[in-house]
Amino acid sequence: MSTTHSDHRSCLSVVFLGILTLCFASFRQAQTVSGPTELTVLTYNTHLFERTQPVMFKPEKTYYEDTMRRHRILERIRTSGADVVALQELWDYDMQSYFIKELHGTYPHAARVNSICAAPGKLLTIGNGLLLLSKWPLSDIKFKRFPTYTTTLIPDDHDCWANKGVLTATALVGDKKLRLGISHALTGEDDNKGEMASDYVAIAPFSLRDHSYILALHKSVGANIFRIDDYGLSRGVKERLHAAGKQLLKYGARMSPNYVAVTSFQLNGHPYIFGLHRDVGANIWRINDDPSTGFTLVKEGMKMSPSYGTIGSFQLKGRPYIFGLHRDVGANIWRINDDPSTGFTLVKQGIKMSPNYVAVTLFYLKGHPYIFGLHRDLGANIWRINDDPSTGFTLVKQGIKMSPNYRTVASFQLKGHPYIFGLHSDVGANIWRINDDPSTGFTLIKQGGAWAADYGFVRFLEMQGHPYLFGLKNCCGQYRDACLRPRPGEAYITRINDDPSTGWEDCAQMEDVRMIAGETGVADGPPAIMMGDFNVHATKYPIMDTIFSLAGARDAYVAVHGKNLENAETLDVPSNKLALHFDPEKTSRTESSFDRIDYIYVKESGTGFRLIPVEARVIRDWKYDDGAVPDMDLSDHYPLAVKFRIQSGAE
């Protein structure tokens, strides 16, 4: 059979077209998935203390077969098949170097930051204990220390000697960037406090668009604005547990510290700040629509004596007023002008009221403003602001028996009814309910609740329709942590119980969790994998799902190791379903016990590829038998491993 040149050309064309098609398909596939298509990460708390000297640990707990265990751990890591390994409690920095050297053939890239420091006359601290090992190149390595501080002098408190925090790095996996993070945090019975600098001279809560804020005037740096959030947890366990937090939005807004009084008020649904300066009179600022940008001065230098012992604000018929108790001339009332840039107008002057009140607060009953005053000699009085405030106020109850030794008195509303909270210098905190008929006074409903007397400020704010206490202790500047850094004051957020006769409860503020969330990935950055360990107080189980929610987790995997558990429990938190699946009230756990929770979670960013979990497992066979100690776990934690598929393109 003969063929023509045309036939040959035709065949060649078909072959060439086929080759082009295959090449294009390969090119397209290379564009779609470049580099590895799977990634396995492993997190493990080694509990290795060899060559460290943390004085807070008893000797028998400090070194536990560490020399033998470290070799076995190295072997297990080398053969684990993981692409990224996150290690915690590898406390000794030289031992971290040993791990990096010995595992370099498998993991040529490592991330760590030496946070060890030495306090004069003290032993070295033990750093952060964090080491990140990777088969893929690492860059942009950072470490940030947790903001939480301890309440006791070193060396009594364990965490004071460990400079814990968040270690992050960016891995280059093929042509894709992936943010990695590792942390070792504590969620315990003492995590209700938050760091807040000392030396605030004024605190003024305000609300904007259903959110609560605090303006705090510092004597050195000006005014700061914090946003307060309530995550409103309730899981039906023995205790109702809540999580709350404060977030610094604006630092150092220009404002002189020489204000003798600062309060907030609302006008046309918007918050304003009123401040009385000891030299220049009174000023009014409007909180900006975006409070993170601070506030704007709208009226300056209004004539007003600095000799007012009490300044407060109240609303009547939708209009804001200022109440002031002068130490010489009695009480005055001013009305904020409809246009606050024109200031205020004095509507009542020199109302007879003794200056010898140790505390004055305002409250509302049936929508009407009242004044509560505690006199140093005569007990407590209640006045009703007149319907026309230009006529002043009327005494409705006089001489109610109440000790003058209350450092703080504040009012709050619950279910439409007013209450008084008082912090006594000796007996703790009490709650009184204002009687339905205030001319009959008030009724003590909660007495002597545990509450320290050394609070500089206690203020009420409302979140999700419920009253909370914000307390700031400026007591602790004399203490130092292990590196001799001065401790700031401590801020507490406390929720008044639904039945205030039962008192209140502290909120877990979880500032460490906020840092973990903030340090791992950004909105327009690559996806992030966060790994690590929480030491979790048994009563804090119900907040674990909120921890991962706050951290921005899409998929979270958790291994729980209790001291008294026969087997480690495993929690698989599926995509968008952050809920616990194990019983938080096992008889083997006590109120003061801690469990260890190892975790791996994914934080998405939507930058062209996703990490899809395909397998999560707790590895329970990392043991060794040296004859003397048969079948010994390499740590009191089990490794947790998760395999991800790298999915390119849109979801």
Give the pLDDT of residue 396.
Answer: 98
Tokens found for residue 563: 């001291």
646/54: higher pLDDT: 646
The rounded mean pLDDT for the chain is 81
550 SS3 class: helix
Please answer whether residues 251 and 266 qualify as being in contact, where contact means their C-beta atoms are separated by less than 8 angstroms: no
What is the average per-residue pLDDT within 467-475? 83
Handedness of CA 387, 391, 397, 400 (dihedral sign): positive
Residues above pLDDT 90, as percent of the chain = 48
Q: Is the pLDDT of residue 620 over 50?
A: yes
The distance in angstroms from the start CA to the end CA of the chain is 55
Give the pLDDT of residue 486.
Answer: 59
What is the average per-residue pLDDT within 513-537? 82
pLDDT digits (tens, 9 = 90+) for 197-231: 768 889 999 999 999 999 999 988 899 999 998 87
What is the average per-residue pLDDT within 113-130? 71
Give the pLDDT of residue 606.
Answer: 66
Give the pLDDT of residue 441.
Answer: 97
Give the pLDDT of residue 160.
Answer: 55
Q: How far apart are CA 85 and CA 81, in angstroms?
A: 10
Q: How far apart are CA 383 and CA 112, in angstroms?
A: 63
Q: How far apart are CA 462 and CA 300, in angstroms?
A: 29
Report residue 190's pLDDT band, with 50, 70 and 90 as the boundaries: low
Range among 35-44, 133-142, 483-492 rated most confident: 133-142
327/625: higher pLDDT: 327
154/133: higher pLDDT: 133
Range among 193-197, 322-326, 592-596, 644-648 rated most confident: 322-326
Give the pLDDT of residue 577.
Answer: 37
What is the average per-residue pLDDT within 612-626? 81
- Determine how many CB atoms are found less than 10 A away from the CB of residue 113: 20
Report residue 32's pLDDT band, with 50, 70 and 90 as the boundaries: very low
Range among 121-135, 361-375, 606-620 rated most confident: 361-375
DSSP letter string, 233-263: ---SSSS---BEEEEEEEEEES--S-EEEEE
pLDDT digits (tens, 9 = 90+) for 332-353: 999 999 999 999 999 999 999 9
Q: Is the pLDDT of residue 62 over 80?
A: no
Give the pLDDT of residue 100.
Answer: 97
Give the pLDDT of residue 542.
Answer: 65
What is the average per-residue pLDDT within 253-272? 95
Give the pLDDT of residue 13.
Answer: 52
Give the pLDDT of residue 442.
Answer: 97
Give the pLDDT of residue 285.
Answer: 98
Tokens found for residue 232: 């409103």
Q: Is the pLDDT of residue 74 over 90?
A: yes
Give the pLDDT of residue 614.
Answer: 85
Give the pLDDT of residue 123.
Answer: 54
What's phi and psi for 60, nearest 5 deg?
-70, -15
Q: Is the pLDDT of residue 449 over 50?
A: yes
Give the pLDDT of residue 590.
Answer: 52
Q: How far apart are CA 124 and CA 392, in angstroms?
A: 64
Q: Which amino acid is at 582?
A: F
Segment among 113-127, 177-191, 267-281 with least mean pLDDT: 113-127
105 SS3 class: coil
585/165: higher pLDDT: 165
Handedness of CA 476, 478, 481, 484 (dihedral sign): positive
DSSP letter string, 114-153: ----B-TTSPBP-----EEEESS-EEEEEEEE-S---SS-
Please answer whether residues 90 and 43 qualify as being in contact, where contact means their C-beta atoms are separated by less than 8 angstroms: no
Tokens found for residue 552: 């921005």
| Long-range contacts from 624-631, C-beta under 8 angstroms, 24+ separation | 624/68, 624/69, 624/72, 626/65, 626/68, 629/65
Strand 594-603: give its sheet, edge to edge. 138-145, 165-173, 176-187, 528-537, 594-603, 555-562, 569-573
Q: Is the pLDDT of residue 405 over 70?
A: yes
pLDDT digits (tens, 9 = 90+) for 310-331: 999 999 999 999 999 999 999 9
What is the average per-residue pLDDT within 18-36? 49
Q: How far apart are CA 565 and CA 587, in angstroms?
A: 10
Q: Is the pLDDT of residue 154 over 50?
A: no
pLDDT digits (tens, 9 = 90+) for 224-239: 999 998 877 654 444 4
| Long-range contacts from 332-340, C-beta under 8 angstroms, 24+ separation | 333/385, 333/389, 333/390, 333/392, 335/389, 336/265, 336/267, 336/272, 336/274, 336/284, 340/267, 340/272, 340/284, 340/286, 340/298, 340/299
Segment among 118-122, 475-479, 540-544 with least mean pLDDT: 475-479
Q: How far apart are CA 511 and CA 192, in angstroms?
A: 9
505-540 b/e (C-beta count within 10 Å ≥ 16 → b): ebbbbbbbbbbbbebbbeeeebbbbbbbbbbbbbbb
Give the pLDDT of residue 651.
Answer: 46
